Amino acid sequence: MTGYRITKSPFRQFLLGLVGIVLVLAAMDVLWLHKVSSEPLENDAGEITTRGEAWRRTDLIWGSLFLISGAGLFVGATIGLASGMAVAEIADDGLRLRVGGPRKTVTFAWADLVEVRSALADGDGVQPRPVLMVIVEDPSRYPSDVWGGDWIDGVLHVDADGWSERVEELVVRVELDLEARRRRSAVADGGDPEEPQSDAGFRSPFL
């Protein structure tokens, strides 16, 4: 199963970029164009009134917020689509997850992986969001402050919402790879490849 990789959903990235463009256009209208939004109130002499000044300050705050947010979404979506950087990848040295930062992966070595699972967690909306759970022998070997996830009772929970593939597919492939590696290790050690490998007393909190 080595070589399997998952990226961010291109369709989700496209939607984020589209939202960014809409926000930038809204900011331009609020700050300068005033095609949809109202211009600051003026008196008969063409001077901005006190209420108009208050409106302009409010427009400046909201317009700046829309501009920064929209530009950030558009740039992020464009970079995501162009780079195609994996958020999860099954590699020779282990399971690589982009949890070290926006563009930094952390490798969970095969020898340290105990189990991976999928779950559903409460999201911001009505629908729950998919989560990848990674159980390792020694969590202290990995960054405690992860990007797009959290350590909960020694188990890493990674937000899998917006991935190009279902998280269950990754779980199946990782478990098959883990089992194959354990069998090869048992054969190399002269043991029985059909005998289940011990988890060294590990008891999953989710059983």
The answer to whether the CB of 56 falls within 8 A of the CB of 48 is yes
Query: If you average pLDDT over every residue of the chain, what do you get?
Result: 85
Q: Within 13 Å, how many C-alpha atoms sit on residue 25's CB side? A: 8
The answer to whether the CB of 137 falls within 8 A of the CB of 200 is yes
Least confident of 14-18, 47-51, 105-109, 179-183: 47-51
**pTM exceeds 0.75, yes or no:** no
Q: Is the pLDDT of residue 199 over 70?
A: no
Mean pLDDT of 68-88: 85
Q: Is the pLDDT of residue 105 over 50?
A: yes
pLDDT (tens digit per residue) in 120-177: 988 666 678 999 999 999 999 999 999 999 999 999 999 999 899 999 999 999 999 9
Task: Categorize the per-residue pLDDT at 2 as very low, low, confident or very high, splitting at 50, 70 and 90.
Answer: low
Tokens coding 131: 């989560």
The answer to whether the CB of 73 falls within 8 A of the CB of 16 is yes
Q: Is the pLDDT of residue 180 over 50?
A: yes
Closest to 71 measured CA to CA, from 8, 17, 127? 17
H helices of 40-127, where? Answer: 50-83
Single-letter code of the amino acid located at 79: I
Q: Which residue has the higher pLDDT, 4 or 47?
A: 4
pLDDT value of residue 204: 38
Q: Which residues lie closer than 8 Å to 146 by C-beta, 6 or more apart?
A: 99, 100, 106, 156, 158
pLDDT value of residue 32: 87
Mean pLDDT of 78-105: 88
pLDDT value of residue 84: 76
Least confident of 62-66, 72-76, 89-93, 137-141: 72-76
Q: Is the pLDDT of residue 82 over 90?
A: no
pLDDT value of residue 16: 84
